[in-house]
């Protein structure tokens, strides 16, 4: 078998157990790259392992595992073409309702973990003239109700991405931000489970204040699972962002993301508030229904 130029280059993908991460790893491998795929469990590793996909156990909230992956890349010897910071969780609830421990968990995975991975592999990227790809979200540009923690972590990631791009451009390392809209992934389903659990812990006053909103957000999330972009399509877009010779600074995935970002640019805040509220209002439950019905 002839060895392609890409086979002599590594790409690290975090959060590759399922969804966009797994799809990105698969697409990159099909393009000929050797992919180091960060997964959480051995069963996930067995599911994704192939000739060009090398799974590693990587929980990005575990510093010792990040150190091990960085050492693996250094010992391999092949240049690191890119790191795709994809791992993420969604924890949705009103600011008043969401416990502080859940805020910290959201930021540990969606923000601080990515910073630690990037710092660990940056020496290899500087050596190779590689690329950092940060998987943000439309939620990193527009914060809907109950998305305070999730959007907060993504807004922070967007800001760091801009800073990194300006810091590293003189040193030959490119930084790209990818902003998916609705994508059919397991993360959306897991977010719905968390939303139901948090709703069960609300006080009676909070229940009266927010139950309708939380039911509407859950219905919206379930709609994403039916109508969102397929994970394979998102993975293809992310793989392109990681490997195209002259990347844009930002990519959106899905028409909903492109439209909402465009509206956020041109509409005053109050007008955007009304638009988002109107979209949710039709999803509010009828009286006397609960989140667990």
Active-site residue numbers? 150
**CA pair distance 278, 113, nearest whole angstrom:** 35
Alpha helices in the chain (DSSP H): 19-30, 42-48, 63-76, 100-107, 113-128, 148-168, 186-200, 204-227, 231-243, 255-266, 269-281
Tokens at 62, concatenated: 């575990």
**CA pair distance 76, 155, nearest whole angstrom:** 34
**CA pair distance 154, 110, nearest whole angstrom:** 7
Tokens at 156, concatenated: 């922070």
**CA pair distance 127, 145, nearest whole angstrom:** 43
Nearest to 133 by CA among 260, 33, 204: 33
Helix (H, G, I), strand (E, B) or coil at 93: coil
Helix (H, G, I), strand (E, B) or coil at 34: strand
Please say whether the beta carbons of 155 and 149 come within 8 A.
no
């Amino acid at each position: 078998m002839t060895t392609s130029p890409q086979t002599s280059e590594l790409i690290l993908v975090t959060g590759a157990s399922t969804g966009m991460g797994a799809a990105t790893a698969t697409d990159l491998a099909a393009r000929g790259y050797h992919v180091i795929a960060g997964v959480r469990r051995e069963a996930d590793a067995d599911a994704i392992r192939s000739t060009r996909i090398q799974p590693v156990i990587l929980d990005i909230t575990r510093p010792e595992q990040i150190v091990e992956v960085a050492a693996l890349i250094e010992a391999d010897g092949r240049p690191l073409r890119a790191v795709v910071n994809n791992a993420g969780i969604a924890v949705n609830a009103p600011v008043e309702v969401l416990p502080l421990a859940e805020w910290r968990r959201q930021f540990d995975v969606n923000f601080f973990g990515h910073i630690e991975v990037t710092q660990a592999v940056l020496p290899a990227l500087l050596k190779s003239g590689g690329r950092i790809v940060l998987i943000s979200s439309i939620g990193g540009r527009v914060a809907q109700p109950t998305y305070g923690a999730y959007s907060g972590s993504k807004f922070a990631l967007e800001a760091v991405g801009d800073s990194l791009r300006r810091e590293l451009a003189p040193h030959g390392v490119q930084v790209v931000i990818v902003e998916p809209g609705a994508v059919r992934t397991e993360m959306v389903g897991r977010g719905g489970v968390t939303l139901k659990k948090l709703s069960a812990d609300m006080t009676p006053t909070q229940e009266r204040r927010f139950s309708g909103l939380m039911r509407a957000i859950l219905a919206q999330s379930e709609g994403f699972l039916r109508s969102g972009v397929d994970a394979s399509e998102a993975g293809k877009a992310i793989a392109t962002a990681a490997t195209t010779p002259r990347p844009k600074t930002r990519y959106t995935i899905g028409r909903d993301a492109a439209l909402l970002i465009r509206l956020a640019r041109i509409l005053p805040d109050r007008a955007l508030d009304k638009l988002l509220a109107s979209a949710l209002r039709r999803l509010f439950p009828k009286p006397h229904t609960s989140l667990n019905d």
